[in-house]
Amino acid sequence: MERSASRAVTPRRGPDLDRSVRPSRAAGGQPAPWNRRVQVGCQAVDVGDADAIVVGAGPNGLAASIELARAGRSVLLLEAADTVGGGCRTAELTLPGFRHDVCSAIHPLAVASPFFRSISQEELGVGWVHPGVPLAHPLDGGEAVVLERSVEATAAGLGADRGAYLRAIAPLVDAGERLVPQLLAPLRMPRHPVSLARFGLSGIRSATGLSRSRFRGERARALLAGVAAHSILPLDRSPTAAFGLTLALLAHLVGWPMARGGSQAIADGLARHLESLGGRIETGRRITALSELPPDRTILLDVTPRQLVSMAQGGLPGRYERALRRYRYGPGVYKVDWALSSPIPWTAPRVPEAGTVHLGGSLEEVADAEAAVWRGEHPERPFVVLAQQSPFDPSRAPAGRHTAWAYCHVPNGSSVDMAARIEAQVERFAPGFGDVILARSTMGPSALERHDPNHVGGDINGGIQDLRQLFTRPVVRTDPYSTPVPGLFLCSSSTPPGGGVHGMCGSFAARSAVRHRG
């Protein structure tokens, strides 16, 4: 049974909620573009003396709010749901006492992000839990490839490809501290062109192309296929290799940790930090039209292009709106969370040490599964990303019990139940898995979108991240965060550098707003 994690939201009634909107005037006496069509009777939000309003308290909305508060703005953050976090929340989805990450679970991007690094450990208050190894990728026959923190140890497990792995990864890791900030940024003049060029030469390739040219054995090829499949693109397309190399690089550089107590701790930490800087947060505040907001304030939206078009109600310049309507969303996700009576009974040694497990077998099998999703099909043996948190963070489940989290890719908007196919993939590498399941919660694309409207059709990255749309999201513009409407900015993962819990979209959007608004 699909169980939605969305909750009924009761809007908090601000003092002026029932006030009819008077078409407010932008400086210069003209109605702001989105207010030209103000509907009388539309409910206004009382924003008080806030001079910057951020809509949506996902990691990027929170990051944008923090940057604005740091720049001296008085910030009001409005969130539709009754908790902050967006794709960074934790809830008891199955049984009492079992705490599941509703969306994001594993956070290499957060710990590597320049934005997160600008907040001290004390201010954020998140305990990062590092599992024994970042990733295991079991193969048929009871063996597994292991991505370890150490480049050398990882290479040693790749047999004949030891040298090839060292040559591909070690220089990137050496340049990692310079490289990562450039990867988590919009297109701009590189500060370290040599390291970026070295990364780009391999990253621009497809994962299958890079794997087959660099690696001879199944183990290294499968490992790269699994990490590259996080791109949610067919693996024979450019730049899927870049996604794989980035995630492998992060495993070596910073690890793939989880947040103690669940991903909600990250969102709560950001919210606390924002409030310590004087920012205000109101949950239960869904903004359906921009006309609900005073147009003379700076407004940042943690929403995707489709929502922006709807919220603007025809008030955007035609060319910009048409470009937003052409924005492409990618495949969706089908997710399962389990309450378990014991740890997953993996066959291969070392898999129990991993926080993340990639289930999909060989490079060919993973590539076929991802290609099928792009053709609009549901693979019989999907590529599954699984996280096992409770062995490393006992706070996730009652004593002696466990949790696990997994998803596979499906066509956008799919309504096909993939739970049995996901569980068959787990059972393939952990026979007896079915016997330890106490309860499960499933969320297909529609439940994910109900939980957070930014997951359009189940797309978890706020839009396709191929070459055409990775840096030119949401549209081709010198400053992708600004819009043609003065004072209106986008700050979601539909802007560069795209999906993931890193806050960099919000951070860059806020800096753009401060630049434009003075």
Ligand X SMILES: Cc1cc2nc3c(=O)[nH]c(=O)nc-3n(C[C@H](O)[C@H](O)[C@H](O)COP(=O)(O)OP(=O)(O)OC[C@H]3O[C@@H](n4cnc5c(N)ncnc54)[C@H](O)[C@@H]3O)c2cc1C
Binding string, residues 307-326; x marks residues near ligand X by CB under 6 A: x-------------------
- Using CB under 6 A, which of the segments 15-23, 191-199, 337-345, 449-457 binds ligand X? 449-457
Using CB under 6 A, pick the residue from 35, 60, 291, 482 that binds ligand X.
Answer: 60
Q: Using CA atoms, how far apart are residues 271 and 112, in angstroms rounded to an integer?
A: 20
Say whether residue 57 binds ligand X (CB under 6 A). yes
Say whether residue 306 binds ligand X (CB under 6 A). no
Q: Which helix (H) or strand (E) holds 245?
A: helix 240-253
- Are 331 and 410 contacting, i.e. CB atoms less than 8 angstroms apart? yes
Say whether residue 104 binds ligand X (CB under 6 A). yes
Using CB under 6 A, pick the residue from 202, 403, 412, 492 that binds ligand X.
Answer: 492
Q: Kindly identify the residues of this chain, within the stretch 348-367, that bind ligand X according to CB under 6 A.
A: none
Cα–Cα nearest to 259, from 389, 422, 348, 158:
389
Using CB under 6 A, pick the residue from 147, 397, 448, 490 that binds ligand X.
Answer: 448
Say whether residue 87 binds ligand X (CB under 6 A). yes
Say whether residue 105 binds ligand X (CB under 6 A). yes
Alpha-carbon 130 to chain mean position: 19
Say whether residue 337 binds ligand X (CB under 6 A). no
Q: Which helix (H) or strand (E) holds 200?
A: helix 193-203
- Using CB under 6 A, which of the segments 126-134, 156-164, 240-248, 300-308 binds ligand X? 300-308
Q: Which residue is nearest to ligand X (CB)?
A: 58
- Using CB under 6 A, which of the segments 342-350, 368-376, 414-422, 452-460 binds ligand X? 452-460
Say whether residue 270 binds ligand X (CB under 6 A). no
Q: Using CA atoms, how far apart are residues 415 and 447, in angstroms rounded to an integer?
A: 10
Using CB under 6 A, pick the residue from 50, 52, 58, 487 that binds ligand X.
Answer: 58
Q: Which lies closer to ligand X via its Cβ, residue 162 or residue 477?
A: 477
In sign, the C-alpha dihedral spanning 250, 462, 304, 187 is positive
Rounded to the nearest whole angstrom, what is the least distance from the CB of residue 127 to ligand X in the complex? 17
Q: Which lies closer to ligand X via its Cβ, residue 208 or residue 465?
A: 465
- Using CB under 6 A, which of the segments 86-94, 133-141, 170-178, 344-352 binds ligand X? 86-94
Rounded to the nearest whole angstrom, what is the least distance from the CB of residue 267 to ligand X in the complex? 8
Rounded to the nearest whole angstrom, what is the least distance from the CB of residue 405 to ligand X in the complex? 8
Say whether residue 298 binds ligand X (CB under 6 A). no
Total residues at the site for ligand X (CB under 6 A)?
Answer: 42
- Using CB under 6 A, which of the segments 105-113, 132-140, 212-220, 323-331 binds ligand X? 105-113
CA distances, 367 to each of 347, 364, 381, 445, 502 (Å): 24, 5, 11, 22, 27
Neighbours of 372 (CB within 10 A): 19
Using CA atoms of 126, 130, 134, 138 in order, give the dihedral in degrees to the nearest 10.
-120
Say whether residue 78 binds ligand X (CB under 6 A). yes
DSSP state of 341: S
Rounded to the nearest whole angstrom, what is the least distance from the CB of residue 409 to ligand X in the complex? 11
Say whether residue 47 binds ligand X (CB under 6 A). no
Q: Kindly identify the residues of this chain, within the stretch 108-127, that bind ligand X according to CB under 6 A.
A: 109
- Using CB under 6 A, which of the segments 30-38, 49-57, 370-378, 389-397 binds ligand X? 49-57
- Using CB under 6 A, which of the segments 146-154, 182-190, 194-202, 447-455 binds ligand X? 447-455
Full 3-state SS string of 452-493 = CCCCHHHCCCCCCCCHHHHCCCCCCCCCCCECCCCCEEECCC
Cα–Cα nearest to 204, from 176, 170, 230, 240:
240
Say whether residue 146 binds ligand X (CB under 6 A). no
Q: Which lies closer to ligand X via its Cβ, residue 136 or residue 220?
A: 136
In the numeric block, the tokens 């701009």 are attached to 188
Q: Using CA atoms, how far apart are residues 334 and 388, in angstroms rounded to an integer?
A: 17
Q: Using CA atoms, how far apart are residues 488 and 295, in angstroms rounded to an integer?
A: 9
Neighbours of 134 (CB within 10 A): 27
- Using CB under 6 A, which of the segments 21-29, 44-52, 103-111, 463-471 binds ligand X? 103-111
In the numeric block, the tokens 């296929």 are attached to 225
What residues contact residue 60 under an 8 Å CB cut-off, 6+ apart? 86, 302, 491, 492, 493, 503, 504, 505, 506, 509
Say whether residue 501 binds ligand X (CB under 6 A). yes
Burial of 103 (0-12, 13-18, 19+ CB in 10 A): buried
Using CB under 6 A, pick the residue from 33, 86, 186, 480 that binds ligand X.
Answer: 86
Say whether residue 56 binds ligand X (CB under 6 A). yes
- Are 53 and 47 contacting, i.e. CB atoms less than 8 angstroms apart? yes
Say whether residue 186 binds ligand X (CB under 6 A). no
Task: Indicate the pairing of strand 488-490 with strand 298-301.
Answer: parallel
Name the residues that contact ligand X, by CB under 6 A.
55-61, 78-81, 86-88, 103-107, 109, 286-287, 302-303, 307, 333, 335, 407, 448, 452-455, 460-462, 492-493, 499-501, 505
